[in-house]
Amino acid sequence: MKKTTFILILSLLFTNTNFSQSNSILPDDYLGSWLMYFGTHHLNDKYSIHYETQLRNYELTNNFFQLLPRVGLNYKIDNNSMVTAGYAFIPTQTDFDEGWGNNMVTENRIWEQFILRNSIGSIKIRHRYRLEQRWVKNGNNTSYKNRARYMLSFKIPLSKKEDFPLFLSVYDEIFINISDEPFNQNRLYTALGYQFNTNANVQLGYLKHHNTAAGIIQNLNRLQLAVFLNTGN
């Protein structure tokens, strides 16, 4: 009887251990998705309004992670440079598989950026320098953080014909904390794009996201679908 009881206890412990390990869910284990819309509405030759919305999921079609609506006012310095200042409100679900509304972290963010464009042959190059002032609320605690970002991006046409619509989009962006541990995130992205006309294109691509923002190292794989639209020209 004692031997049977001992074997039963060991079996339960072993089963429980395996169950816990098999249900240890990490965002790294899933292909997530970022669905994005970027708009620019031109007010005149110098000023325009930037607006965007990004829906980010832990999994491909569900499991909410983050909503990022962002607006800004652009000022065109010349044909190759522009400055922007704006605001974003960002709700984030830091717990995998919890969904919208439960124990979410919220952020109020003010941001400024400078964009510089140049080209090598038919390849368009863009440098984006961004500063962020972030008020992050987690429960009853609100912390203030500063962050700097730099993005280097390339738009590469897939044909020498000017009216050929397909192109490659590639970028790398690094995030640096100013007040905390320096390294925050790095995003490496490549996509196939389709240019409908001078004011609209769509991109479908893959993002490798190295992230330490949550206090742990994550290497995330994300599918991105992005729409870009200019209006008011």
Q: Is 120 left (phi over 0), alpha (psi -120 to 50) or beta?
A: beta
- The torsion angles phi and psi of 19, rounded to 5 degrees, stand at -65, -45
- Encoding tokens for residue 107? 């952020």
CA R_g for the chain? 22
Give the pLDDT score at 14: 37
- What is the rounded average pLDDT for all residues in the chain? 88
Structural domains in the chain, sorted by start: 31-231 (2.40.160.40)
Give the pLDDT score at 99: 84
Is the distance from CB of 14 to CB of 20 less than 8 angstroms? no
- The torsion angles phi and psi of 215, rounded to 5 degrees, stand at 90, -5
In the chain, the amino acid numbered 209 is H
Question: Which residues is 208 bridged to in the sheet?
Answer: 188, 221
Characterize 165-189 residue by residue with b for buried, 16 or more Cβ atoms within 10 angstroms of its Cβ, and e for exposed.
eebbbebebbbbbeeeeeebbebeb
Question: Which residues is 112 bridged to in the sheet?
Answer: 85, 131
Name which of 136, 133, 137, 135 is nearest 147 in CA terms.
133
Query: Does pLDDT of 166 surpass 50?
Result: yes
Whole-structure pTM value? 0.85
- Encoding tokens for residue 81? 């440079």
What is the tens place of the pLDDT at every residue in 3-26?
Answer: 444 344 334 333 333 333 334 556
Query: Does pLDDT of 112 surpass 70?
Result: yes
Give the pLDDT score at 25: 57
- Encoding tokens for residue 184? 């925050």
Mean pLDDT, residues 30-36: 96
- Encoding tokens for residue 112? 């400024």
Residue scoring higher pLDDT (23 or 113): 113
Query: Does pLDDT of 42 surpass 50?
Result: yes
Give the pLDDT score at 15: 38
SS3 category, 4 = helix
* Lowest-confidence segment of 34-43, 45-54, 215-224 by average pLDDT: 215-224
Task: Please state, for a pLDDT cut of 90, what percent of the chain lies above it.
Answer: 73
What is the tens place of the pLDDT at every residue in 44-101?
Answer: 999 999 999 999 999 999 999 999 999 999 999 999 999 999 999 999 998 888 888 7
Is the distance from CB of 225 to CB of 201 less than 8 angstroms? no
What is the tens place of the pLDDT at every residue in 121-144?
Answer: 999 999 999 999 999 999 999 999
Mean pLDDT, residues 161-169: 91
CA–chain centroid gap for 142, Å, is 22
